[in-house]
Chain A
Amino acid sequence: MSNRLKRRLVDLGVDPSSSKANESFCLIGTPLPPLEKSKDLGEFVPLWKQEVRDEKGRRRLHGAFTGGFSAGYFNTVGSKEGWTPSTFVSSRTERAKQKVARPEDFMDEEDLQELRDSRKLVDTTDEMDFAGTSKAGVDEPEKDSIASALEASLLPPPTDSAGARILKKMGWRLGQGIGPRVSLRKRKLQDLQISQGGRVSSDLADIRDDDEEASKHTYAPRDTLVLLVERKDNAHGLGYTPGMGLHESVGGKRGTESTKGHRIAAGFGLGALNDADEDDLDVYDGGLASHRRQVAYDTTDHGDEDVVTIGGRLERGKKPPVQPASSAAVFRDGQPVLAGFALSDKPVAEDRSFPLPDVPDGWTPDPRRVWDRYQSKEHLPPPAEPTKIEGAWDTKITADQRGAMLGETPLPSAPRSVFEYMSKKDRERIQNIAANQGRPPPTPGTTALPSAALPHEATRIPRTEPQIAQAALRGFQPFAADPAKQARYNAYLQSQVGTDAAGPPLQPLPGQRIDEFNKEVEDYAKAALLFKPMSAAMAGRFTSAAVVEQGPKIHEGLHTPSQEEMEREEEEKKQEEEKDVSPKVHAARMGMYGPMTRETKPWQPARLLCKRFGVKDPNPEPEVVVPPAPAPAEPGSNWQEPEIPMASTSAGMGAETGGARKGIKDISNIGLGEDEDQGRDTLTYERPTMDVFKAIFASDEEDSEEEENKMEEDEPPEPNASAALSTGVAAAPAPVDTGPVDLSTFKPTFIPRESKAKKDKERDREKKDKKKREKEKRAVLSFAMDEEGGDELEPRPSKDRPKKKKQRKEKREEADDEDGMWVEKPAPDVVKDLTLPPPPQPMEVENVPDSGPPNKGRKRAVDFL
């Protein structure tokens, strides 16, 4: 875009590199890229133009699949020189030399850098571990040599920290202290200080200069060990040691280490390979100095020496803590109370503990005894009153009970039964009668036999009225689902009906407890009552079912069909399958192979398959068979030339017309596309009858010639002959000359031979002048039009013209083949359009009007007239 703009500007004479041309007035949106390449590196580059390059200027991130990596040479496996695949070389002879390819061999420098970075496991800021001091400092259980050796081999070797490296460069060696070199005397003093743990003044210490030679040199100061602060990983208070008594905690760890054995004298170090001799042992090493190893730098106010001296921790700890003025209190043992705390006056209340009771001899724990006792207690009827009196408010007692407890007189309540209305005497009488008869009083239903006299486990069989039992027998059967129970129910009822009919009285089932049996029988009695039979009148209306309906059997748990069930189901399934089996399968099963089992259907093999098998396509081009008319008559031709798919499309056309058409098409249809369907509607177009034209165009003033001209103007391809024939007006202007035809104005024209002969010369001449004028106008106008871009104004003619020509041709051939002839130049229409028309010759002018100069011009001319 900018290129075109630039070119245009250059054409206009504007320097594209000038600042004026490059000035941007763009306020919104993305401005166009500048016309000239500027040196501006920060210039806007569209995203698709941006590139990523590494520090060496190589392009990165190219391609869709790189994913940000740059692989090989432009994402190939090769190099700039190309790629040679590795050739197979037998490794038989040089197996020993065989090099194992490492991943690094395939890495480029970026990968290697990355790898190197990732290998830096040890942090450079790590402290150097001096000869395992951290291990030595902590009093840990002694490791056996194997363990330590293993540890040493497994752990990464300690690296020097930066500080250690600097120190080493300054002359420091492992095992030495830090500081300026000191004289032997001072060093001995240091030793003394360390060993005694106190500040020994230089005067007091009698340091003999045993060796003159030794005093001439300066020595590195003694090493000081780093104060190791143990990590606190418990929840105890500061300074608290678990399992330590008060005194011990106050006194410190005194004496724990002194028992460990002799100390090596502090004066001289031991070599790594030397063993501690007896001479080396510090005989005077006191217990107090046991912590001398755990010392740190401590500046002291020992003024005379400007040397860093070492103070023991213990000594520092012994230093009386700075006491705040406010707290003067002191513990009993002389320890001062911490600031902010006050000493309590009260002694600490000791926890009182009671001695365990003495266990009698021979006692063995036996919980069952206890349980038994409590169980038996539960079984006993609890003495109700005393427990209630106990005091605890029991919410369970009813108002009546409470009233009884309080000694209230019970409220007169409503009489509960008929008996209560009777006098006591009557009641007794009735009871007597009942007792005599052995029957309960005639209360409705049944009453449980008062079997208080019987032992607890006796069976109680409630009585049922015989009639009721009788009716119940006939009536509803409540336990139909459980036949066994129903049988027992029936047995019960029968036993109740009368002793004569009934079998043996109902007995508890084997394995059934008495109370369960009692309950069961009670249920029966209730059921008999509940399903009280209807009155006789009602009952007569119904009959009980003859068949005892068995309810659906319900299986408990997961349903697993039994073997026979499954078999049955399979059988059913098989039968069903048998039923809906297709006749084909049935035939196959019967062994009746043949038409029953055979299915034939069309199948279209792929064309390529046919080609590969060397077989003709069985149904070639099924879509070709669309035009039905003559195709079945000669299917052979259709198949023999399948490369002409449209061969049979024009039904009415013979073979030779098709060929002629083709020829015409080849010559004159240049540039009009190969679309055979183009202009088909034009072909099938039927011309309206002449009357219509007459009605529209015929006018009184104009003579027939003019009229016809007009018609031609509207229907330029209309052949003269047919027009003349239909109108009956011999008006066709015959071209006199068929010789040299001007290409520009040429139109294939039909010239009837008769009319050519009959031409009326005067008329011709008359017309000539008229038309010459006309034609000149037209020609001028029409070409002006062309130059202005007539294509857009008139898109039709270029397309339609050949079709119309064709149409005319066909019509001609149909109608007047014998008396007509073609005058045609093999010039394509395009040529005509392109060449400028020379001033029309008088002879040719004759030709022009009927054959029609370019249509575009005509229309204009009509308008003009």
Chain B
Amino acid sequence: MAPSRGPEPLPRTVHASLEAHKGPVNVARYAKGSAKYILTGGQDRTIRLWNANLGTEIKVFAAHGYEVLSLSVSHDNAKFASSGGDRSVFLWDVATGVTTRRIAGHMGKIHAVEFNEDATVVASGSFDATVRLWDLRAMNRQAIQILDEARDAVQTIHVGPTTIITGSVDGHVRTYDLRKGELRSDFIGHPVTSVVPTQDNQTYLVTTLDSHVRLMDATTGKMLNDFTGHTNTAYRCRACFDHAEATVIVGDEDGMIWAWDLLDAKVLPPNPPPKAHQKVITWTEHHPTDPNEMFTASADGTVKVWRHPATVT
């Protein structure tokens, strides 16, 4: 963590392998808080809750009729939202494992769903090129607002404290600034599959389907760095920062986990990295608090929790 030592090496030892999904795992999220649990959603229409430390499955949430494409856990870990092929956002109660609300309204499959900070609003981005913001306080069937600026499917959403960042297949990253009342759209030029901002919301990481991961300046829209080497041309591969935000991590379509130094954009050794999964890695997420842990979810149906060998013991 000490910046003087340079970026930490990536945890590359499998701590636990979560294998219960029958098909590709499309999305996986850490729980909030101490993030002891991982929530995964797969092509097999189920959402599974895992203990990341023990590698055991805790619960299966099955109500979706189609694949699960996105998940979002609320701040208090009491509920989560999921979405997928069935064009509705499902709100779940974690404890009982039932849906508390199903919000229909989108015309296409919903690729991304995200709570705001206190889970009073959920944003959903869909194939129908809209982002809809739903009020969870009131049982209103109508969305609070529909952001229909995107010209193609919305693939990713990030909801910050005062901003909503969406990434769309039309190659734009749109930042809706609530405080300023302003929409800033940055044209990336290639279909955007994931947008992950840094903690300070000054930069964001954009994954596009031209096998590039770009670090963009949120305030000016300039490109700060460009990370290449991996292959990502067809699937949504979510990139992430490591704990100290000194490394950019992404799993590619060959099942390899790539890591770059944030500053000089050099691939961290080993280069090329070893193959971690049999198929495309769809989701990479670093533990929010523990610098030693991250996980990758793959289309081969497994989610692997990685740790440093020292901490595995």
Contacts and interface: CB of A to CB of B under 8 A. Distances in A.
Interface of A: 584-585, 587-589, 591, 593-595, 597-606, 608-610, 612-613, 615-619
Contact of B183 (A588, A601, A612, A613): A601
A599 B184 contact: yes
Given A584-B187, A597-B187, A605-B176, A615 B144 contact: no
A603 B181 contact: yes
Interface in B172-218: 176-189, 214, 216
Given A595-B221, A598-B220, A608 B182 contact: no
Contacts of B137: 612
Most B Cβ at <10 Å: residue of A584, A593, A600, A617: A593
A610 B221 contact: no
Contact of A609 (B121, B184, B223): B121
Contacts of A599: 184-185, 187
A618 to B, nearest CB: 3
16 contacts: A588-B171, A593-B187, A593-B223, A594-B220, A595-B220, A598-B184, A599-B187, A604-B181, A605-B181, A606-B144, A606-B145, A608-B144, A609-B121, A612-B121, A612-B135, A612-B137
A615 B188 contact: no
Contacts of B220: 594-595, 598
B184 A618 contact: no
A598 B221 contact: yes
B222 interface: yes
A597 B121 CA distance: 30
A589 B189 CA distance: 7
A584 B171 CA distance: 11
Interface in B216-239: 216, 220-223, 226
B43 to A, nearest CB: 30
Contact of B179 (A585, A591, A618): A618
B111 to A, nearest CB: 21
B187 A613 contact: no
Contacts of A585: 187, 189
Nearest to B226: A591
B178 A594 contact: no
B181 A612 contact: no
Contact of A594 (B144, B183, B222): B222
Nearest to B147: A603
A658 to B, nearest CB: 30
Contacts of B176: 603, 605
B188 A588 contact: yes
Contacts of B189: 585, 588-589, 597
Nearest to B149: A603
Nearest to A601: B183
Contact of B186 (A597, A602, A603, A616): A597
Given A594-B220, A612-B121, A612-B144, A602 B187 contact: no
Most A Cβ at <10 Å: residue of B135, B181, B184: B181
A617 B186 CA distance: 24
Interface string B23-39: 00000000000000000
A618 B133 contact: no
A600 B218 CA distance: 12
Contacts of A609: 121, 133, 144-145, 178
A605 B178 contact: yes
B186 A598 contact: yes
B220 to A, nearest CB: 6
A615 B179 contact: yes
Given A594-B223, A618-B181, 11 more contacts: A585-B187, A593-B187, A593-B222, A593-B223, A597-B221, A598-B187, A599-B185, A609-B121, A610-B178, A612-B116, A613-B161
Contacts of B179: 615-616, 618
Nearest to B133: A609
Nearest to A594: B222
Contacts of B145: 605-606, 608-609
A509 B184 CA distance: 76
A774 B136 CA distance: 73
Contacts of B182: 600-603, 618
B87 to A, nearest CB: 22
A602 B179 CA distance: 11
A594 B188 CA distance: 10
Contacts of B144: 606, 608-609, 612
A74 B223 CA distance: 67
A194 B210 CA distance: 104
B96 interface: no
A175 B187 CA distance: 99
A689 to B, nearest CB: 52
Most A Cβ at <10 Å: residue of B137, B176, B180: B180
B231 to A, nearest CB: 19
In the A-B complex, list the 6 residue pairs whose CB atoms are closest, starting with the nearest: A618-B181, A588-B189, A598-B221, A603-B183, A593-B223, A606-B145
B180 A618 contact: yes
Contacts of A616: 179
A606 B178 CA distance: 9
B222 to A, nearest CB: 4
A585 B190 CA distance: 10
A598 to B, nearest CB: 4
B289 interface: no
B185 A613 contact: no
B162 interface: yes
Nearest to A588: B189
A618 B186 contact: no
